[in-house]
Amino acid sequence: MITISAFRWVPDFARGQVRDLRVRWALEEAGLPYRTRLLEPGDQDKPEYRALQPFGQVPIFQEDDFVLFETGAIILYLGERSEALLPKEPHARARAMQWVVAALNSIEPFVMNVALIDVLYKDQEWAKLRRPGAVEFVKKRLASLSKALGDKPYFDGDRFTAGDLVMATVLRALPETDIVTGDPRLAAYVERCTARPAFRRALDAQLGDFRKAA
């Protein structure tokens, strides 16, 4: 049985955003059953957890004696087992992997720069000074992303892949702004991806774990 680690409790602003959601979604798309190992506060800093995840983050993916961390790596690994995530045709497969990497390297750092300012540091003077420049840069990146998407439903055309799964989770990280939703293409894209039944099941499962701990 596949087990993924997740937090038993997070603040309200983080619910529906914690990155185990990506792996839950991938497992749902692939039709692979899993269970969760819920961490109490402080569990992520214990030596036994750090031995598996050096940075104390979630999720960890475990199956028998195999352990993997980092959501990009986990999702690509699951893609090796499911055409729902990575097509078999070599060029289509490479393009899907390309968009996974693009989401994590070319988009997420700049999205999270703004998200962290807004959530954790918004009252600090340096953050007030830094935010306009951070927003300007991420908007430029998103304009390029929107152009690459064009009129296609997904980044590789009509087919949803792991690249869309990761990209959609990245673009969801700014829910309190119009930075993403102000672009009609990207807004429709995120809505299209997150309307998928597998996403809804994954989100319900994550929120359900938080409700149980309430």
What is the per-residue pLDDT for 176? 86
For every residue of 3-70, DSSP letters joined together read EEEEES---GGGTTTSTHHHHHHHHHHHT--EEEEEEPTTGGGSHHHHTT-TT--SPEEEETTEEEES
Give the confidence band of 213 by pLDDT, cuts at 50, 70, 90: confident
pLDDT, tens only, 24-62: 999 999 999 999 999 999 999 999 999 999 999 999 999
Residues 166, 23: Cα–Cα separation, whole Å:
9
List the end-to-end C-alpha distance of the chain, in Å, as a whole number.
27
Pick the CATH number of 2-84+198-213 from 3.40.30.10, 3.90.1200.10, 1.10.1040.50, 3.40.50.300: 3.40.30.10
pLDDT, tens only, 58-74: 999 999 999 999 999 99
What is the per-residue pLDDT for 137? 97
For the chain, the structural domain boundaries read 2-84+198-213, 90-196
What is the per-residue pLDDT for 129? 97
Residues 27, 78: Cα–Cα separation, whole Å:
8
Check whether 190 has a pLDDT greater than 80: yes
pLDDT, tens only, 99-147: 999 999 999 999 999 999 999 999 999 999 999 999 999 999 999 999 9
What's the residue count for the chain? Answer: 214
Q: Which fold, 90-196?
A: Glutathione S-transferase Yfyf (Class Pi); Chain A, domain 2 (1.20.1050)
Which tokens in the block code for residue 49? 């957890």
